Structure 1
Amino acid sequence: MENGRSQTLMTALGFDLGAAQLYSRLLPLNGWPLVVVAATLSTSEEELREVAAPLIDSGVICIGETLTVRGPTAVVAHMLERAATRAQDAHDHLLKISQSVPYVAGTAARLPATIGEEQPIDGEVIATEFTPETFERLVSTTSGEMVWLRPVVTVHPSEMRFISAIESAIRSGRRCRGIYPVAALKHSPDVLRMRIEVGEEIRILPSVATHLMVVGSTHAMFPDPLGQVEQPMVNVRQRGIVEVVTNYFEELWRRALPAAELEDLPSAERRLLLAELASGAQDEQIARRLGVSLRTVRRRVAELLEELGATSRFEAGVEAARRGWL
């Protein structure tokens, strides 16, 4: 029974089935000499290191003269810490990019001359409203995948033109992905449904901090300053910056929850609440991110602890991961 639980936990944390099965076999061998472990698994030490590479690289196991394997609880804590660190690093990179806006705009901000010869960043500031016409022109003159963050989803007459342009892009073979806040499930479910129907892949986070759009490897667009206001919008074509912004989006995408079944709002909210608990967020932070009252958060936390038979928030996160809820 313990093996089945470990496999469920490991696949919930993003490992493939092979790595999950290997983890369940190695767990009871924790502390054994490596030569004995290899013999027990009917393999060589070199082959064991090769097949266990995903577990080694992620820090779940350590192979030296002896085998060290983190227990399920320690694995969850370690993976959450790694994810939080990557997300923070990506966020810090994006903030640094936003500070380059004056340089993009051609203002007085410049690097110290001692660093090297100055070269202008490829891009410009779009001071006008980002209209459907602008989006349609961008779609028609570019190629590659399109991704975006939308912190606020409003029902606007122009929304259908955006959706129509997205549908045309998807029909031409381009992939479109968007990340939205959980509040959009409550306030704009019809907009999300229409986007899903035309083929947009949608995931949900408790909150989305800023507008952002990346087109292929050629355009990264975000407001200055970062936030919910869409203008002025910075359009950067500098490849290195586009790659950093893309990495930021991908980190958020990994953390976000699929929104394929928008009708199951209570389930989506519960999973987001569990993810917040597992990350160590406080009640006040959770209330802000989920758009509910502090009293509601505390009531739902108490209900979840009781449902999961957990005595602490972290234990609830571990148990939820084991059950495949996260």
Structure 2
Amino acid sequence: MEPEARSDNLEEALGQALRLIESAVTHHRRGVLASATAELPVDGEVVAGWVARLVLRAQRDVIWSLPEVTCEDHARLVAQTLAQLSGKGVRIRMLCPPRVIRGVMWQRTVGTVPRLEVRVCGSARQELVVVDGAAVIAPERSPGDPGGSRASMIQNSTVAAMLHRLLCGMWDTAQRPMRPLSFEGGARGRVLREVLTLMAEGYKDDAAARKLGLSVRTYRRYVADIMRDLNVESRFQAGVRAVRAGLMEAERD
């Protein structure tokens, strides 16, 4: 099996395992784990603020699965929390879907935090924070609900250790953000994405150049830039890596 395929399979397996554990935690939230789980049934900004206070207890390591940045205030609060952790010397790792790190809110806030380690992971669908490998913070949000209605801190050592291992496993298989393309905006960024799309669709250089209104020489220069930035040796590899990194998705703020 090709290395890219093995990595995809491992990431998907880890994602499935994570979803099973999340489901089990939710199901037993008022049962087996109740004595080890602190819950706060509040809404909106209060949930986000409570989560931030719990995260700030970290002394060594935080690994954070963040599937979305819901609004400017949410982005600023996350950024402020991470900046304080960074100032304490805490190692911070963030797992996010590609669209999150390409968003304007991320780039203006979270993306500016020093010493923040970020990797792209499509399996990051539930917000979870593991603090020092010993406590799990799990905000609950309904689809489309930007505030959420509850957050929990799970201090059950078995659950915390299991989720920590799973998030670390997802981290190990996730892609590093491809800054030259994924963070680039403006006219050049749009052209790069259009070139990537035509490469993926198998256009010949002359046909693709005509479609984009470029000279063949200019088009080939864009192709060379893309292959260099993605650190690949073939156009096929460039397409695979771009899809995995989410560069082929439509841009969203």
- TM-score bracket for this pair, using the shorter chain length: 0.5 to 0.7
Cα distance, 1:307–1:320 mapped onto 2, change above 3 Å: farther
Cα distance, 1:260–1:196 mapped onto 2, change above 3 Å: farther
Mapped pair 1:234 → 2:152: yes
Mapped pair 1:87 → 2:15: yes
Matches of 1:209 and 1:136 in 2, distance apart? 19
Q: Secondary structure at the match of 2:30?
A: helix
CA contact 1:123–1:235 (8 Å) conserved in 2: yes
**Distance apart, 1:167 and its partner CA:** 0.9
Q: Secondary structure at the match of 1:202?
A: strand
In structure 2, list runs of 5 or more residues that go unmatched: 205-233, 245-253
Q: Secondary structure at the match of 1:91?
A: helix
**Normalized against structure 1, the TM-score is what?**
0.50
Partner of 1:189: 104
Partner of 2:80: 164
Aligned Cα RMSD in Å? Answer: 4.0
> What are the superposed Cα offsets for residues 156-205 of structure 1, whole Å, 9 maximum, x if unpaired?
3364344223212111110112222233245x324334323222222223
Cα distance, 1:247–1:321 mapped onto 2, change above 3 Å: farther
Mapped pair 1:102 → 2:20: no
| AA of the residue aligned to 2:136 | A
| AA of the residue aligned to 1:259 | P
**Distance apart, 1:223 and its partner CA:** 3.8
CA contact 1:219–1:235 (8 Å) conserved in 2: yes
**Normalized against structure 2, the TM-score is what?**
0.62
Mapped pair 1:143 → 2:26: no
Matches of 1:219 and 1:78 in 2, distance apart? 31
CA contact 1:170–1:176 (8 Å) conserved in 2: yes
Matches of 2:57 and 2:5 in 1, distance apart? 45
| AA of the residue aligned to 2:135 | H
> % of aligned pairs identical?
13
Partner of 1:263: 183
Mapped pair 1:304 → 2:200: yes
Q: Which has the larger radius of gyration?
A: 1
Matches of 2:55 and 2:15 in 1, distance apart? 29
Partner of 1:251: 169
Q: Secondary structure at the match of 1:250?
A: helix
**Distance apart, 1:131 and its partner CA:** 4.5
Match for residue 41 of structure 2 among 127, 151, 155: 127
| AA of the residue aligned to 1:252 | M
Counterparts of residues 190-205 of structure 1 (less than 5 Å): 190-199=105-114, 200-205=116-121
**Distance apart, 1:101 and its partner CA:** 1.0
Matches of 2:2 and 2:168 in 1, distance apart? 25
Cα distance, 1:219–1:75 mapped onto 2, change above 3 Å: closer
Which deviates the most, 161-170 or 225-234? 225-234
Matches of 1:220 and 1:180 in 2, distance apart? 17
| AA of the residue aligned to 1:128 | V
CA contact 1:211–1:228 (8 Å) conserved in 2: no
Counterparts of residues 62-73 of structure 1 (less than 5 Å): none
Q: Secondary structure at the match of 2:20?
A: helix
In structure 1, list runs of 5 or more residues that go unmatched: 1-72, 107-119, 271-295, 309-316
**Distance apart, 1:246 and its partner CA:** 1.5
> What are the superposed Cα offsets for residues 201-237 of structure 1, whole Å, 9 maximum, x if unpaired?
2222346422211111232122457867533222100
> What are the superposed Cα offsets for residues 36-65 of structure 1, whole Å, 9 maximum, x if unpaired?
xxxxxxxxxxxxxxxxxxxxxxxxxxxxxx
> What are the superposed Cα offsets for residues 55-110 of structure 1, whole Å, 9 maximum, x if unpaired?
xxxxxxxxxxxxxxxxxx5555445434433432333233223322121675xxxx
CA contact 2:37–2:155 (8 Å) conserved in 1: yes
CA contact 2:139–2:150 (8 Å) conserved in 1: yes
> What are the superposed Cα offsets for residues 214-263 of structure 1, whole Å, 9 maximum, x if unpaired?
11123212245786753322210011101111223223323433236252
**Distance apart, 1:137 and its partner CA:** 3.1
Matches of 1:158 and 1:76 in 2, distance apart? 34
Larger relative contact order, structure 1 or 2 (CA cutoff 8 Å, min sep 6): 2
Partner of 2:132: 216
Q: Secondary structure at the match of 1:264?
A: coil
